[in-house]
Amino acid sequence: PKKIPERSSAPGRTARGTSMGGAASAKERTAAGLNPVAGLDISLEDAESISSGGVTATVAALSALIESGNPLHKDGVLWTPHRPTRPEKSEGGIAIKMVSDFEPAGDQPTAIKDLVEGVDQNDRTQVLLGVTGSGKTFTMAKVIEETQRPALILAPNKTLAAQLYAEFKKFFPENAVEYFVSYYDYYQPEAYVPRTDTYIEKESSINEQIDRMRHSATRSLLERDDVIIVASVSCIYGIGSVETYTAMTFQM
């Protein structure tokens, strides 16, 4: 029978890249001023008790996170993001109401029911798959109406975002349907061409109408509950710090 070669202690290539930290012992790493095991904040004694059966530091660190339960727990305390106190909304309490001459048909009632149940059960991800013209946008609108929750609709580009914005404005004429996309009509980033030793200055042209629509979307989020924002994927970073933006506003 063919002899199986012994496992090398040198760093090995994996599907995720190079696994590092397996060549040096725990004592050698400690002597060099490093953690005994790469990726784990443990003592030398604990490190020596870990089996060296070929498990990389990355795998060991991941295993420790899994065994400890929720990775968001640290020192027995659950990590929570900073959520400042929100003021009362001046135009809150308005119901999200869909206006349409059509009723759900075909597979739409089942899809709406399943999606609403998923939202009620706090499912973080759901997928609605359908061919072109099957009524996915109508189904999405119905789900928003059923759940009575604000919604953020991300489109891959401005063209599709504008199309969705127009459709949702028709579906929800009494609610705050807003448009949040990049306000640049033209943008040329600064550049340097070494071959000709040429510096190209940044140039841009801002569409003031879209800029006003972005501020309108932000105002609706601060003052209303019945908000549906249609945005392009490039705008996921928003307008920056909430504190900075709030400091530049005033109440009327």
Query: Whole-angstrom Cα distance, residue 195 to residue 16?
Result: 37
Check pLDDT > 60 for residue 87.
Answer: yes
Check pLDDT > 50 for residue 9.
Answer: no
Indicate the pairing of strand 151-155 with strand 227-232: parallel
State the average pLDDT for the chain. 80
pTM above 0.85, yes or no: no
Which carries the bigger pLDDT value, residue 246 or residue 149? 149
Query: Whole-angstrom Cα distance, residue 14 to residue 203?
Result: 44
pLDDT of residue 252: 74
Domains with residue ranges and CATH for the chain: 12-78 (no CATH), 108-247 (3.40.50.300)
- What is the per-residue pLDDT across 12-51, written as a single tens digit (0 to 9) for each? 333 323 333 344 566 776 776 776 666 566 677 766 665 5
Check pLDDT > 60 for residue 129.
Answer: yes
CA dist list (Å): 40 to 43, 47, 50, 61: 9, 9, 11, 6
Stretch 220-233: mean pLDDT:
93
Cα four-point dihedral sign 24, 53, 74, 124: positive
